[in-house]
Amino acid sequence: MCRHLAYLGPPVPLAGPLFDAPHSLERQSWAPRDMRGGGTINADGFGIGWYTPDGALVRYRRDRPLWSLSDLPALAASIHAGAFLAAVRSATVGMPITETAAAPFAGDGWLFSHNGRVTGWPDSAAALPVPPRDLLTLDAPTDSALLWTLVRTRLRTGMPLDAALADVVALVSAAAPGSRLNLLVTDGTTIAATTCGHSLSVHAEPGRVLVASEPLDPSPAWQPVPDGTLLTATATTVNLRSVES
C-alpha cells in the first residue's frame, strides 16, 4: 500500500534514498517488507518533490514503476537537495493509474503523500466537507487527492502542518471508520506525519532526519513509529505524540 519518505538536512543526492540505499524506495517498489491492507508491490506510479537552494519546489511524477524509469538514476544522482518527499504507489482497487494520482501532491510550497485508503470510497466522500469547486479540481479522482485538498484547505488558514494532519485524520476517521491514514507533509523545513494503519520509521542524526514507511538500511538508529502517532520533525528535532490528543 504505497511507500513514502521525506528528508530534511544538508543537501544530499536524491539517488541515495531512491536507488542507492540497501532497502531504497526503488527496492521497496518491488520488494516491500511491510505491506498491510492489500497489495504486494508498488508498481502504479512514482513521484518526488524537492526544494531547490532558493526555495523553489520541483516535482517529478510518473504513472509507471520506479524500477522502469531508466533515465532517473542518473538524474537523481546529479540533483542534491536538503528537503524532499518521495513515494511509490500501489493503486487501491478501483482507483485510476495516472500520473496525477501519484504522490506527492503539491501546491503553495507544500508536498503531501498518503499511504492507505479511505473506507467506503467513493461514497464516503459525500460525508466529507469539501466544497464542490475543490472536488471538481482534484488532481485525480482518488481518496489521496481528496485528503490533500482537506489538508491544503487547513494549511491555507495558517494551521501548522501537524495540526492540519491531526484534524483531517479525526474528520475522516469519524466519517469513514477504519480508514488507513498514514499522511506525510512537508514545507521544506518541517515534516509532519501520521501513523494510522501502516508502518513508519524515523532515522534522526544530528542535523538531519529521514522519515520512511520502511527503514532504508539496517542501521539501529531507525525507530519504528507506533500506530496512532503524530510525528513532527525538523532537521534537529523529532516529536512523537498521539494523533488523537
Minimum CB distance to ligand GLN smaller for 47 or for 82: 47
Is the CB of 9 or the CB of 47 nearer to ligand GLN?
A: 47
Q: Measured between alpha carbons, how far is 7 from 14 in angstroms, rounded to an integer?
A: 10
- Select 28 or 142, whichever has its Cβ closest to ligand GLN: 142
Nearest approach in angstroms of CB 198 to ligand GLN is 7
As measured in angstroms, the least distance from the Cβ of 34 to ligand GLN is 12
Q: Of 143, 136, 116, 140, which Cα lies nearest the Cα of 61?
A: 140
Residue with CB nearest ligand GLN? Answer: 2
Q: Do 233 and 244 meet the contact criterion of CB atoms below 8 Å apart?
A: no
The least distance separating ligand GLN from the CB of residue 147, rounded to whole angstroms, comes to 9
Three-state secondary structure of 49-106: EEECCCCCEEEEEECCCHHHCCCHHHHHHHCEEEEEEEEECCCCCCCCCCHHHCCCEE
Contact 3, 43 (CB under 8 A): no
**φ, ψ for residue 76, nearest 5 deg:** -65, -30
User: Which residue lies nearer to ligand GLN by CB, 79 or 130?
Assistant: 130
Tell me the three cell numbers of residue 125: 466522500
Active site residue 196: no
Q: Looking only at residues 24 through 43 of this chain, which bind ligand GLN when binding is defined by CB under 6 A?
A: 39
How far is residue 28's CA from residue 7's CA, in Å, rounded to a whole number?
17
CA distance 9 to 32: 25
Tell me the closest approach of the beta carbon of residue 153 to ligand GLN, in angstroms.
19
CB of 11 to ligand GLN, least distance (A): 29
Q: Which of 19, 20, 41 is nearest to 32 (CA)?
A: 41
Looking at residues 77 to 116 of the shown chain, list those that interact with ligand GLN (rule: CB under 6 A).
Answer: 89-92, 95, 101, 114-116
Ranges within 124-183 binding ligand GLN (CB under 6 A): 142-144
Which entry of 1, 2, 15, 66 is annotated as an active-site residue? 2
**What is the binding site for ligand GLN (CB under 6 A)?**
1-2, 39, 89-92, 95, 101, 114-117, 142-144
Residues with a known catalytic role: 2
